[in-house]
């Protein structure tokens, strides 16, 4: 049987370059491999773990589907679906929660970060985030997960749950591994930390036009443009990382040399970089604009995706319930 791949992105807003390079590019790469069966979802249930607007959730969920399709995820090759439309995920999640200790969840760095960010929203759902994510992955017996490096602690939990379930109940869950892309950690444009939609000034969205990209890059901090060694952290290092990602290693090397000799003119660098980023995003934006009118097609993709995913997911839940000693339906 082909190995399975699963990934997802929370339905919390427009995708940015971090999501694109850290997660979706990996999804795209794996989709084209013949030895793999790929499943990609929109994690709308996970979007409920931090404050959200119920009137916008449906739109945001659909937007991620449109982004997926525009980037090139192909319903002929991958199962594309919405998490909440496969209720088996929450069923398996509950069964999994019986082998997870409270302390383990409370000490997770991702949980601690989130409660710092939202001090009034430390719900049980947020605490359970990694358990639901483990269910998303293991319900398809997926062994490869294309996500950014920040998701590694969650994958570790998924592996632990798989081991515990296998030991306690004789299931045969795989140990899911992260599939890393070269953009597994995209830095913030603001100079520190990672690019994230919750940090204003840190990101470029996939839907940004050239002007907006130029404006966002203009805000990125720089220095005098000259020095003995090329900075490895901070604003300049981050800008050069973007040069490498969008203009290639050679262009990066040229700038690094300039930095140590005649100096870099950041106005020119940023203009050239904005063009390079826009060149990659433009075709995606054009396909996305077309998809916005293809309502019936997108509805079909979502409906078929849920049906196909449920077929696989329900088999797993049935097996786990039996192995855990629950009564069968007669």
> What residues line the site for ligand TRP (CB under 6 A)?
6-10, 43, 46, 133, 136-137, 145, 147, 151, 154
Select the binding partner of residue 194 from ligand TRP, ligand ADP, none (C-beta < 5 to 8 A, by kind). ligand ADP
Separation CA 117–CA 237 (nearest Å) = 26
Separation CA 240–CA 305 (nearest Å) = 40
Separation CA 279–CA 25 (nearest Å) = 16
Distance of CA 299 to the CA centre of its chain: 22
Task: Report residue 147 as tokens.
Answer: 């996500």
Per-residue binder mask for ligand ADP (CB under 6 A), 5-44, x = binder: ----xx-x-----xx--xx---------------------
Size of the site for ligand ADP (CB under 6 A): 20
Determine whether 48 is exposed, middle or buried from the number of CB atoms within 10 Å of its CB (0-12, 13-18, 19+).
middle
Select the binding partner of residue 56 from ligand TRP, ligand ADP, none (C-beta < 5 to 8 A, by kind). none
Other Cβ atoms less than 10 A from the Cβ of 259: the count is 21
Select the binding partner of residue 46 from ligand ADP, ligand TRP, none (C-beta < 5 to 8 A, by kind). ligand TRP
73 within 8 A of 40, measured Cβ to Cβ: yes
Select the binding partner of residue 186 from ligand TRP, ligand ADP, none (C-beta < 5 to 8 A, by kind). ligand ADP
The piece of 179-187, 208-216, 222-230, 270-278 that touches ligand ADP (CB under 6 A) is: 179-187
74 contacts ligand ADP (rule: CB under 6 A): no
Separation CA 242–CA 20 (nearest Å) = 13
- Closest-CB residue for ligand ADP? 22
**Parallel/antiparallel/unpaired status of strands 142-146 and 177-179:** parallel
187-206 residues near ligand ADP, rule: CB under 6 A: 194-198
In the complex, which residues of this chain contact ligand ADP (CB under 6 A)?
9-10, 12, 18-19, 22-23, 147-148, 150-151, 183-186, 194-198
């Amino acid at each position: 049987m082909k190995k399975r791949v699963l990934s997802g992105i929370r339905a919390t807003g427009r995708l940015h370059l971090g999501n694109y390079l850290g997660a979706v590019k990996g999804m795209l790469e794996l989709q084209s491999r013949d030895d793999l069966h790929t499943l990609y979802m929109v994690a709308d249930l996970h979007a409920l773990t931090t404050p959200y607007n119920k009137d916008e959730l449906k739109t945001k969920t659909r937007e991620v589907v449109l982004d997926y399709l525009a980037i090139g995820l192909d319903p002929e090759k991958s199962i594309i679906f919405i998490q909440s439309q496969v209720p088996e995920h929450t069923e398996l999640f509950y069964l999994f929660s019986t082998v997870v200790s409270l302390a383990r969840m409370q000490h997770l760095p991702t949980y601690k970060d989130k409660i710092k960010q939202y001090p009034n929203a430390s719900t049980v759902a947020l605490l359970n985030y990694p358990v639901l994510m483990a269910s998303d992955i293991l319900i398809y017996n997926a062994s490869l997960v294309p996500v950014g490096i920040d998701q590694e602690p969650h994958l570790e939990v998924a592996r632990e749950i798989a081991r515990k379930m296998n030991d306690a109940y004789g299931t045969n869950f795989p140990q899911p591994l992260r599939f890393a892309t070269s953009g597994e950690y995209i830095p913030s444009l603001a100079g520190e930390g990672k690019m994230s939609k919750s940090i204003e000034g840190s990101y470029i969205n996939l839907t940004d036009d050239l002007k907006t990209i130029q404006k966002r890059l203009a805000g990125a901090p720089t220095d005098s443009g000259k020095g003995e060694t090329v900075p490895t952290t901070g604003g300049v290092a981050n800008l050069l990382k973007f040069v490498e990602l969008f203009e290639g290693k050679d262009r990066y090397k040229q700038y690094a040399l300039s930095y140590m000799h005649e100096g870099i003119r950041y106005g020119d660098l940023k203009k050239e970089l904005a063009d390079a980023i826009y060149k990659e995003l433009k075709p995606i934006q054009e396909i996305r604009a077309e998809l916005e009118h293809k309502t019936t097609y997108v509805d079909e993709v979502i409906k078929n995706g849920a049906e196909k995913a449920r077929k696989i997911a329900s088999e797993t839940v049935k097996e786990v319930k039996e192995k855990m000693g629950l009564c069968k339906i007669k």
